[in-house]
């Protein structure tokens, strides 16, 4: 028994209708920590959270603040632990304020009224989750995202040292995801123990202090986010291929999912990625792709280009040309062959100079309509930095933001600064 650990589980097991879903779970959650629980669909994340919050019974040891949870009265539990479910039925047309106020009843004796302090806490919770304007609205008249914020506000108003959240951002748009997770992280910083289930691995990586990875009802990895979400662990547990890079602002790990194809015998065929870069814009990306097992080739590179040095060091096939000279016809022909062979083309050029036009023309003529990227949120290329050393991060950011190409261009990703829709049409533009 450890009175300093807010949550302690040893050999915990739980399930439904006599069937064990999670078992042999041993973990403890420290004060002031934001812990993420991750794992594929059906792996038992919600079941574990329900067991810890005593929504469902469990066997094994489960202690809150050093006391067996089984010894807590419902009122004591309501003061010790807040639980935010993924969703909750709304059988009655309560107002938002009424639902948030309910969180305070565990603290008042029977038949007593709530105090001004209870109301103040609820107003503050509404304010912090950005739903004050909804306080008199019927909860049945809320969108999924608004309702999710009400459930979080209710847990905030409950004001417990331990808060468990089941996919707290599943219904939220990007701005609200960031707002709620910043708020939750601040709660941990102020000394609470916060545990959240996450499907969005990049959000878990950016916000959590520690991750528990669950597979088949067991903890298979537990530690610092970047140590848990390695490409190897993601492949093993999720059956997905990712590359990792670092967040351009925070330096934390980012995962970028990549397409894979199956050879039919269960093995994965290497994706062929052609990187057309120059001036150092492709170095990081070439390293990341090689490190993660892609069959990488490079486009036309002057032998004085720093990307050429990377390509040589990594033994990546490329099309070397002499610096400051016109690109020879045989090099352009070779590029056309590589374009045809590649599963994915990454064009990372900064800035777009006249020297790039023959290459752009090849891509345009061979891949008509494939040279446009749209980000779902309307952002433009220029908001990303493709200068030396930043291309891989920009690539990751674009992928994370859901970059996609128009029309039939699902095999090509273009990373480019400048207006790529209108390179000169004549072939007379030479370096
Ligand atoms: N109320 C229930 N009764 C019976 N079985 C259930 C119940 N809830 C969940 N299960 C089963 O328990 C297993 C784990 O479910 P759980 O919801 O814990 O997984 P999860 O990791 O949270 O999944 P997801 O990522 O899809 O939300 C699944 O096989 C599921 O079908």
> pLDDT tens digits for 246-303?
777 788 888 887 766 655 665 666 778 888 887 777 777 788 778 777 789 999 999 9
Q: Whose CA is nearest to atom 11 of ligand 1?
A: 42
Q: Where are the alpha helices (DSSP H) in 110-230?
A: 116-128, 144-158, 174-189, 201-207, 225-228
Separation of 30 CA from ligand 1 center, angstroms?
A: 26
**Mean pLDDT value across residues 84-98:** 87
Residues 147 and 138: their CA atoms lie apart, in Å, by 10
Q: Whose CA is nearest to atom 27 of ligand 1?
A: 41
92 lines ligand 1 (CB under 6 A): no
Superfamily of domain 7-257: P-loop containing nucleotide triphosphate hydrolases (3.40.50.300)
> 356-385: per-residue pLDDT in tens?
667 766 665 554 433 334 333 444 333 344
Confirm or reject CATH 3.90.110.10 for domain 270-418, answering yes or no.
no
| Res 107: pLDDT | 78
More confident call, 415 vs 80? 80
CA angle 187, 192, 197 (to 5 degrees): 75
Which pLDDT band holds residue 88 (cuts at 50, 70, 90)?
Answer: confident
Residue 389 neighbours by CB distance under 10 Å = 12
> 391-429: per-residue pLDDT in tens?
455 555 555 544 433 222 233 344 443 333 332 233 333
Choose among 14, 15, 13, 16: nearest CA to 24: 13
User: Exposed, middle or buried by CB within 10 Å (0-12, 13-18, 19+), for 256?
Assistant: buried
> 20-40: per-residue pLDDT in tens?
999 999 999 999 999 999 999
Residue 196, pLDDT above cutoff 60: yes
Separation of 427 CA from ligand 1 center, angstroms?
A: 60
21 lines ligand 1 (CB under 6 A): yes
Q: Whole-prediction pTM value? A: 0.66
Residues of the chain with CATH 3.40.50.720: 270-418
Say if CB 169 and CB 177 are below 8 A apart. Answer: yes
Characterize the bridge pairing of strands 373-374 and 404-405: antiparallel
Separation of 69 CA from ligand 1 center, angstroms?
A: 22
**Mean pLDDT value across residues 208-220:** 96
Residues of the chain with CATH 3.40.50.300: 7-257
Residue 166, pLDDT above cutoff 50: yes
> 346-356: per-residue pLDDT in tens?
776 554 455 66
Separation of 211 CA from ligand 1 center, angstroms?
A: 20
pLDDT over 70 percentage in the chain: 76
b or e along 43-80 (b: 16 or more beta carbons within 10 Å of the residue's beta carbon)? Answer: bbbbbbbbbbbbebebebebbbbeeebeebeeeebbeb
Residues 177 and 180: their CA atoms lie apart, in Å, by 5
Say if CB 246 and CB 235 are below 8 A apart. Answer: no
């Amino acid at each position: 028994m450890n009175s300093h650990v807010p949550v302690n589980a040893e050999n915990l097991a739980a399930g439904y209708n006599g069937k064990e879903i999670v078992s042999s779970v041993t973990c403890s959650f420290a004060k002031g920590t934001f812990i993420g629980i991750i794992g594929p669909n059906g792996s038992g994340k919600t079941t574990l959270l329900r067991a810890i919050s005593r929504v469902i019974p469990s066997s094994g040891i489960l202690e809150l603040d050093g006391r067996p949870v089984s010894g807590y009265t419902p009122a004591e539990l309501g003061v010790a632990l807040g639980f935010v479910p993924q969703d909750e039925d709304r059988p009655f047309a309560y107002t938002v304020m009424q639902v948030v106020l309910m969180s305070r009843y565990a603290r008042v004796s029977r038949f007593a009224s709530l105090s001004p302090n209870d109301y103040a806490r609820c107003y503050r919770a509404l304010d912090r989750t950005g739903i004050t304007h909804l306080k008199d609205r019927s909860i049945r008249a809320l969108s999924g995202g608004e309702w999710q914020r009400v459930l979080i506000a209710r847990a905030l108003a409950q004001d417990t040292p331990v808060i468990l959240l089941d996919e707290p951002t599943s219904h939220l748009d990007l701005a609200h995801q960031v707002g709620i997770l910043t708020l939750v992280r601040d709660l941990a910083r102020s000394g609470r123990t916060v545990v959240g289930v996450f499907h969005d691995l990049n959000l878990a990586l950016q916000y959590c202090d520690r991750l528990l990875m669950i597979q088949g009802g067991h903890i298979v990895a537990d530690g610092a986010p970047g140590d848990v979400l390695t490409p190897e662990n993601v492949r093993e547990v999720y059956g997905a291929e990712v590359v990792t890079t670092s967040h351009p602002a925070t330096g934390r790990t980012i995962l970028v999912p990549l397409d894979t194809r199956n050879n039919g015998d269960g093995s994965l065929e290497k994706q062929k990625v052609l990187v057309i870069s120059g001036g150092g814009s492709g170095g990081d990306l070439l390293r990341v792709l090689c490190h993660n097992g892609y069959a990488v080739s490079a486009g036309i590179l002057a032998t004085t280009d720093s990307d050429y040095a990377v390509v040589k060091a990594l033994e990546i096939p490329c099309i070397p040309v002499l610096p400051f000279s016109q690109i020879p016809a045989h090099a352009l022909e070779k590029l056309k062959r590589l374009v045809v062979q590649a599963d994915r083309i990454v064009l990372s050029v900064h800035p777009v100079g006249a020297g790039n036009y023959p290459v752009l023309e090849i891509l345009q003529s061979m891949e008509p309509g494939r040279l446009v990227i749209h980000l779902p949120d309307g952002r433009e290329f220029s908001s990303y930095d493709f200068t030396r050393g930043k291309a891989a991060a920009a690539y990751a950011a674009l992928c994370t933001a859901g970059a996609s190409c128009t029309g039939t261009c699902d095999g090509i990703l273009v990373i480019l600064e400048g207006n790529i829709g209108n390179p000169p049409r004549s072939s007379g533009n030479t370096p």
